[in-house]
Amino acid sequence: MRDAFPVIRLRGKGGWLAGRDGIVLSFFIHRSPETFAPAIWRALQTYLRAIPSGTLGWYPSEEGELAPLDAQGWEHIRKYLLDPPWRGVWPLQLMESPSEAGSYHFEYYARRLGDPILKDPISSVSFTFPTEYILEHGASQLRDLALQLGRELPFNFGYASFAIVSPQGLFSSGDWSLIESLLGRYPGLDVYNTREFSSVIGTHALGAYWLTFLGQPLLGRLGGIEALRRGIPFPEANLLPLEGDRLLINLGEWPDAIDTEKGAVPPQYSALASLLEPFLFEYKGNELNGFERLMNQWHRRLLSPSAQVTD
């Protein structure tokens, strides 16, 4: 099974690890942060029970320095989540290593709806795992964990995918020729950046993934569950209704890196991507930078060539 997932190690200048292969679970929440802060704390506890004890060892302090996640550090994190300052608007990153990307990360970006400084803000939370985790425990266990987190969080969009595990978009510090080669070969590989996207995507989607979580208003805009069943008529796709008028779409038994040197994009991925296409996030403007142009193309990578954005 390891052969189904490429081994990825992106190195920054000086040889430090900027990103590696793994799995990311991300959720986007279009509510005021103070209304769901306890759910974030409960989701974090669920994540901690699932990963090796003591894995998360560091967090950025208010002074901007990395501080150890000792008893005092955890009390600080608990207080800021359950009794947040500034109406709950603040970032939180918990990491495995103080100097490298590592494998396990928790990132939470609480955004105030309608913040005039940001384009279209929405809160986001992500959890990561190394590829070895899913190989050891199995895809069904990780799927169950994603479902448990999804049931806890009041998301409007979320997903789980094979990914370059790299907090805060640090993959961009790696070798761009290698990154472009990976993206060209593996359209099932996610290059996530929840800090960036939570400030701009609003209630849009980011694409079709191994596990795709849809809440309102996205699910309603797509015509509801029955319309999605008709639009993804493939045995590999499983649609699971969730409480609160939400839905989990599972596109296969395992995450799929989609190695285009070995086969085409699976039809269930293309079908869901086509349904989501009118609601995908897109950077707008006449003078987009290289990252924005790349992301516009990347979010449409599973569509037919005629539907993809070009430079």
pLDDT interval class at 307 (50, 70, 90): very low
Instruction: Print the domain residue range for 76.
Output: 2-307
For the entire predicted model, the pTM comes to: 0.93
What's the average model confidence in pLDDT over 231-246? 96
Whole-number mean pLDDT of the chain?
A: 89
Determine the pLDDT at residue 205. Answer: 95
Is the pLDDT score of 117 beyond 80?
Answer: no
AA letter at 114: G
Is the pLDDT score of 309 beyond 50?
Answer: no
- Residue 262 CB partners (closer than 8 Å, separation 6+): none
Residue 73 and residue 64 in contact, taking contact as beta carbons nearer than 8 Å: no
Tokens found for residue 41:
């704390």
Instruction: Round to whole Å and give the CA distance between 113 and 264.
Output: 40
Q: Distance between terminal CA atoms of the chain?
A: 37
Q: How many separate domains does the chain show?
A: 1
AA letter at 99: S
Instruction: Round to whole Å and give the CA distance between 20 and 17.
Output: 8
Residue 32 and residue 113 in contact, taking contact as beta carbons nearer than 8 Å: yes
What's the average model confidence in pLDDT over 135-158? 96
pLDDT interval class at 118 (50, 70, 90): confident
Determine the pLDDT at residue 306. Answer: 39
